[in-house]
Each structure stands twice: as C-alpha cells, then as structure tokens.
A and B are shown apart, each in its own frame.
Chain A
Amino acid sequence: MSETIGSGPVLAADGTPLKRSLQRSLRLQKLRALLLIAPLLAFILITFIAPIADMLFRSVENEIVSETLPQTVKLLDADGPSAPIVPGNETFSALYVDLYVAVKNKEHTRLGSRLNYEQTGVSSLFRKSGRRVRRLDVEIYKNQFLDVDPAWGEVTTWLTLMEDAKVHKALPQTMWAFSAWLDDVIEDGDKPEEEKLEDYIFVALYNDLSAVSDKAVSRDLINKTASAVGGFETVDFKSAFAKFDKDWHNEDVWKTLRVYSPPYTEGYFLNAVDLQKEFEGYSVRPENERIYGTLFMRTLFMSLIITGCAILLGYPIAWLMSNRPMREANLLMIMVLLPFWTSLLVRTSAWKVMLQQQGVINDTLVWLNIIDEAGRLVLINNQFGTIVAMTHILLPFMVLPLYSVMRTIPVSYTRAAKSLGATNWTAFWRVYFPLSVPGIGAGSILVFILSIGYYITPEIVGGTSGTFISNRIAYHISSSLNWGLAAALGSILLLVVLLLYWVYDRIVGIDNVKLGG
C-alpha cells in the first residue's frame, strides 16, 4: 500500500477506488446470477412456498368466529372475568342480529361446523337456530321506531346516516346491520330506495341506543329516539333462543364461544399434541381421545426402522454394483431401478397379494408344511406389512447415493490395507466403510424424510397399527375438513424434520453427505 501514490485508496483505471469498482462488478455478477435463477425462484415461491405458508397459517387462524358473530364477540370480550358464563339478554339480542345476517349470507352453518370440532352438538345448534331465527317475529321494534319518527322507515334517512362518521361511532351495530342489508340489496341488483328495511336492523338500532354510553350525536333524530327507547316493548331474546334449542343456555356452548372468539388461536396446536384449550385453561385430553402423540412417536420409530432396513439391504447391493464388472453392474442397476418405473400403487398392491393370509408367502409355507392351515401368519395390515412394503419402495433411494459414493472409492485403498497386513474385515471396516459413510448419510436422510411423510402405503397395508401421522393429516384434510388441525399436525411434522436435520448436521455434518462423486 505504501508504494501507491500518496496514502489514498488504490484506484482503478477509470479513477474510482478499486474496492468500490470490484464491488460493483461483483454485484453485477450476482445480479446476473439472480436473474438467471429468477424464473425458477418465482416458480417455487408461487407454487410451493406460498401455498405451504398459507396452509401452515391456518393452524393458528380462527377469524371465522369474530367475522360471523362480530357484535356478540364484542360484547363477550367486554365481559369481566366474573360475568356469568351464559350472558344476559343484551348479548342474546346482539346474537340475534349477528345470526340473522349470518343466515342471510349462509355463513352460520360454517361456523357451526368449525365450533363442532371443539364442542359436540354446535353444528346442529347453529343449523337449527338458523332456520328459527328467520321466523322469529321482531316487528314490534320497527313499529315502535316508526311511532317515534316515521323518518326511520325511509331508506334515504339511513343512507344519510351512513355518511356520518360520528353516527358510525355512536351506533356501530346499527350501521353494521344496515350495511349488511345494503350490500345484499345492491348484490341483487335492486335500488335501495325501493326496498323495505328488514326488521333485524331495528333490533340493532335498539341495542345501540339502549346500551349505556354517551350518545351525544348532533342529530335530533337520534337524540330524540334515544330518549324514547327506555319505554320500548322488547322481545326476550334469551328465552327465545332457549326455545330454538335449550343448548343456548348450556354453559359449555358459551365457554366454547368465549374460548374461540379471538381471531388467532393456539387451540389447533394443542389438539395436535393431545391437549385441549378450555375455558378454565389448558388440560390434557381424556385418555380415550389421545392419539397424536402415539402416532408421532410411531411415525418416527417406524421411519427409523425402515431406514435401518434400507441400509442393511441396500449396502451389499451397492457394494456389489460398484465392485462387479460393468455388464453385471448395469444389470443390477436396472433391477434396482425397475421398481422406480412401476406405479407406487401397483407395488403396494403387489405386496398385498404376497403377504395376505391367503397370499403367496403363506400358501408356499403351507405347501412346504412349515406352517399348517390354521397357523397362517399375519404379515399384512400391521406394522410388519408397512415396514416390508415401505423398505422395498424406498430402497432405490438408499442404493443410488450409496452406489455413487462407493464408485469413487479407489480399489487400491483396500488393496494397500491388505498388503500392509490387514484382514479382509479390518480393511473393510477401517478403510472402506468410513469412506462410504457419506453415501449412507445421504441415503438415510432421503429415506427417512420420505418415509416420515409417507401416506398411501401405510394406508393400504398398515391396518391399524401400521398407520402414520400423515394418514390422520389426510383424514382431516379430506374427510373431517378440520384443516386447521391438519395444518397444525403438518407444521409439527415439518418442525420435527427440521430439528432432526439440525441434529444430523451437528453429529454427522451435512458437508459429509454426498449424492455423487
């Protein structure tokens, strides 16, 4: 440095400092590289990462309750800890408005199915109440408001109120109920001015005006009406709902509503580890409902066994392939790859034919008089069946990385060891085997991670003791439609895999994994 002119930085030919010039050209290079992979990156982001992230997000998302019953949830949230579990008439009155709008939008049964995952019976409670809520006669509210001032019956009055931000603040429920009505009218392509205002809007208006809070709005109409509502005749919504279904006075229903009213919940994750979220706090699920812990452990345990079996079976094959003449090795290679070209379902079903009690293996054993007719072995619809079928299906994923690593181990190493006096075993164990470990590592990761998420084979040959956690995830996706729970189970599975990967990296080192020369 000291030999350059002065003490300034080294300059490039065009006079800019060399460091900056270098950085610029490197940045350009990086940018070019990024541009080259940009299509792939975008493709993966859009079709892979984004959907997965969206799906995982469902494991905590729970907006359906506060979106379907916004007014009720607001009142429930305002309740202190000492408030009675089953709320008073005021909340039931808000529930009426919520439910009426939900029924209009056909959303109440969706909420029913959602809450039914937590509390049995809510599904039919909402379906039944939805039918009844439309038939409940609440006309008296409208009539009384019209008696105070006929302007309430004019849609134009309401449209002007809608434009006033202060009114929105003072009469939130009313404005919400009215805009639900308005949206509906506009969606049908009708003119609001020509339509009749529905009765439920006036229930909302009554709820707002009768709630104890400052209604100081500089509008005579509202102030005049607010002082009149005290003398209104009302509908007893609390007993009306009890008539719909007595479960509306059941504390368990309201506990569930209160517990699951926030827009985000840890409930799905708790369910996924055999816990539950209750009004009183977290608790362990009753023993006859615990299943996920067992399934997670079983999935991990069986995947480990399958990986182990694949190593035991795959290692000798790979060794043969890399040590025989080219022609033989090629033949072996084709035999390893052959199952790859056959459909997964066909291979699994073939195992069914082989392993079932009237299947090939049992028939042969009976024919050889090794077992008798009554003693036919149960080889399928259990863990054994799953392990056999999956080891077979995943074996190529072990053999191929092993082979590509073994091919690069020079034969001269073992020869040298032997010439220095090592026995065959020592030469293999001390020289050859350590060199093949990167192949075992790569194969194991492939087989283990693939088998942890396996679904179709355990479903077909696993019976009850050989099914994996993925079978339950599939059940919740396609049958019970409890996507939140499925997402939580999936997230946990993903975390477990990442954790194991990290542990593996710490112990073996991911740099030691080779997929080829």
Chain B
Amino acid sequence: MEKTGIKVINDESSAEAVAKLRAMDEAGNVTWDLVDVVAADAIRLCDEGLAMEIDHDEVLAKAPDGTPASKDFGDLIVSQCFIPQIVYSTTFGYRTDLVGDKKPTSVCAVFDTKTWPGKRSLEKRPINNMEWALICDGVAKDEVYDVLATPEGQERALKKLDTIKDDVIWWSAGADTPQLLADGEIVMGSTYNGRLFSVIEEQKQPVAMLWDAQVFDLDGWIVPAGLSPERKARVMDYLKFATDTQRLADQAKYISYGPARKSSAPLVGKHADLGIDMAPHMPTDPNNAKNTFLYNYEFWADYRDDIDAKFQAWLAK
C-alpha cells in the first residue's frame, strides 16, 4: 500500500476462508491478518471464535460530516466481528435474444418454462432458491421464512423447484452463469449482480438484468482472533484507510457493488474505463430495488444444515 508503505500480500482463497481459518487456528499458526468474507461467513467465524470482535467506532474512520462509523454503516454491521464493505445482490440475468418477444419482468419467469423455454442456471444450494420457489408458489413475501421453517414449507419449495429440475444447470462458482449466458447455454440464470454488469457493459453480451426479487447480501472484512499487537496495529491502520467514505465510494468505479457506508453513496461516480454512470447499475438504485430481499442470516444459520440435507437429497434423486 503506497500510503503507508505496508506490503499487502493477497491470498485468493476467500471462498474457503472459514474452513482454512479454522484449520490455521487449530494448527496454531494463523497467517492471515485480514480476510474478505461474505456476511454469513463472518457470523460463523464470529460464532467459532475465529474472528475478533471489533469496536467499529474506535477502529473505523468517521464519515466526513462526523457521523460515527457505527451509524454510517448502520444495520449492515450484522455481526460484531464484521466490517461491511459492499452491498451486492444475487439476481437473474437473461439473454435478450433467446427469450422471444415477451421480456421477463418477474422472478417467476424462472419457473415458467412454457413462456420461456430453455435452460436456467441456479446456485447449487438451497439459500435464495427456496425463497424464490415459495414466492412463485404464491407465498406472501413476509411469510416466506415462516413457511420455510416448517417441513411442509420445505417440501413445498422443493416441489416447486421440481417442476423445473430438468431445465436447471446448477452452478457453484459465480463465474458459471456469466459463461453459460455468453455461450447461450441458458436463457436465464442467477448470479451476483456485478458479474452480470460486466457481462452486459464490459463484454457487451445480449444480456439484461431481471432485478425482481434480488437478494441483498454483504461482503466485508474480518480480523482473525489472536493476532499479535504489532500485526493488529498494522491491520487496524489499514482498515481505517480502506473502509473510509472515499475508499468505499471508489471501489464502485470498477464494479457495480454498492458501498456499505451511507456517506459513500453520493460520491459514487463513473466507471473507471467505460465512463458510464455507476449509480443506475447499483442493486440499491430505487429503479432496481422495487422488490428485494435481505439475506436472512439468522434463519439460515439455524436451518442451513437441515434444509441443505433435504435439498441435496432432492438433487441426488
């Protein structure tokens, strides 16, 4: 990092961060000082005692107008160990040239193989898919988790998914859907909104966003527990800089992920290379956020193991 002369070494294994950190901890040699994880993983790491609890106001910079960090991030601090950076969403993109004249506008298009025949891609896990299935099976949005908490509700969601099972390609890496869309393997598929932005705006593929029922999620930092005082001081110094208002606004120059600070929103400008306004591509833009979900961390922390077992058994059938 130029500002402070600290050398940053990147290790690209964030997807397995939780497992790796646990293994490092058991081996007594945590080599990471700072880890980028999604919020659900941050909560798990906090639960496992592997991440340090943070005093957000003490560690992080204030907003330019003096608002303390905890207020500036607000509800997005979903765990005491978590320092949110970006808001992203999991949503659908579709091939404009393959869907025919009638463009899909609702998430339920995914389940309507009569109007929009062809393959779809969904993530190979129950999270998000079960919610979408229930909504399209007629469950009201605010009752989704009450229904999903019951065995009958889980059965119902899987039954709905069963209607399109033969038309689904299941993905496990965020890059799968953009590739499948670009190859014309699928007509629509779910992935992270930033990936779709790059398919549409950077690669100019005939793909459009279907923002309906997008699921917001957060990505951010955690600091491993038990760092030595020197390492901790260095990390805190870096964190303060990297998560201040301007820095969070700057990352939106490269990909359409919303900054987690309220004070960063007005500073979001144009794309670094393309020169287009980034604000309309943000998942939080009012035009895109007409119908949204927030990843229900507490529900999935409880039901993940149970529903995943049923989901995988259903998949293997």
Interface residues of A (CB under 8 A from B): 105-107, 109-110, 112-113, 116-117, 120-124, 127, 288-291, 294-295, 356-359, 381, 459, 463-465, 467, 472, 477-482
Contacts and interface: CB of A to CB of B under 8 A. Distances in A.
Interface in B202-241: none
A288 B302 contact: no
A459 to B, nearest CB: 7
Contacts of A472: 312
For the complex of A and B, the 4 pairs showing the least CB-CB separation, nearest first, are A109-B47, A120-B306, A478-B19, A106-B49
Contacts of A480: 304-305, 308
A481 B170 contact: no
Contacts of B19: 477-479, 481
A289 B305 CA distance: 11
B221 to A, nearest CB: 19
B49 A107 contact: yes
Given A110-B47, A464-B124, 9 more contacts: A110-B49, A113-B48, A127-B301, A288-B313, A291-B313, A464-B316, A467-B316, A479-B19, A481-B18
B303 interface: yes
Given A106-B49, A109-B48, A123-B301, A464 B170 contact: yes
Interface residues of B, number: 35
A291 B314 CA distance: 9
Given A288-B155, A288-B313, A356 B49 contact: no
Interface string B243-267: 0000000000000000000000000
Contacts of A357: 119, 185
A291 B311 CA distance: 10
Interface of B: 15-16, 18-19, 22, 44, 46-49, 119, 124, 155, 158, 169-170, 172, 183-185, 298, 301-306, 308-310, 312-316
Nearest to A480: B305
A127 B44 CA distance: 11
A468 to B, nearest CB: 11
A264 to B, nearest CB: 19
Contacts of A291: 309, 312-313, 316
**Which DSSP category, helix, strand, loop or mixed, fits chain B's interface?**
helix
A117 B305 CA distance: 6
B169 A481 contact: no
A359 B179 CA distance: 12
A46 to B, nearest CB: 13
Most buried by B among A106, A110, A123, A463: A123
B103 to A, nearest CB: 22
B47 A112 contact: yes
25 contacts: A109-B49, A113-B44, A116-B302, A120-B303, A121-B302, A123-B301, A124-B298, A124-B302, A288-B158, A291-B309, A291-B312, A294-B316, A358-B185, A464-B124, A465-B316, A467-B316, A477-B19, A478-B18, A478-B19, A479-B19, A480-B304, A480-B305, A481-B18, A481-B22, A481-B44
Nearest to A486: B19
A107 B15 CA distance: 24
Contact of A116 (B15, B305, B315): B305
A480 B49 CA distance: 16
B185 A288 contact: no
Nearest to A112: B47
Contacts of B301: 116, 123-124, 127
B183 A356 contact: yes
Contacts of B22: 481
Nearest to A108: B47
Nearest to A298: B316
B172 A127 contact: no
Contact of B46 (A109, A116, A288, A464): A109
A50 to B, nearest CB: 12
B49 A288 contact: no
Contacts of B313: 288-291
B305 A482 contact: yes
Given A109-B47, A477-B19, A289 B310 contact: yes
Most buried by A among B47, B155, B184, B306: B47
A389 to B, nearest CB: 16
A291 B183 CA distance: 33
Given A110-B47, A358-B185, A481-B22, A459 B302 contact: no
A290 B315 CA distance: 11
Contact of B48 (A110, A120, A381, A478): A110
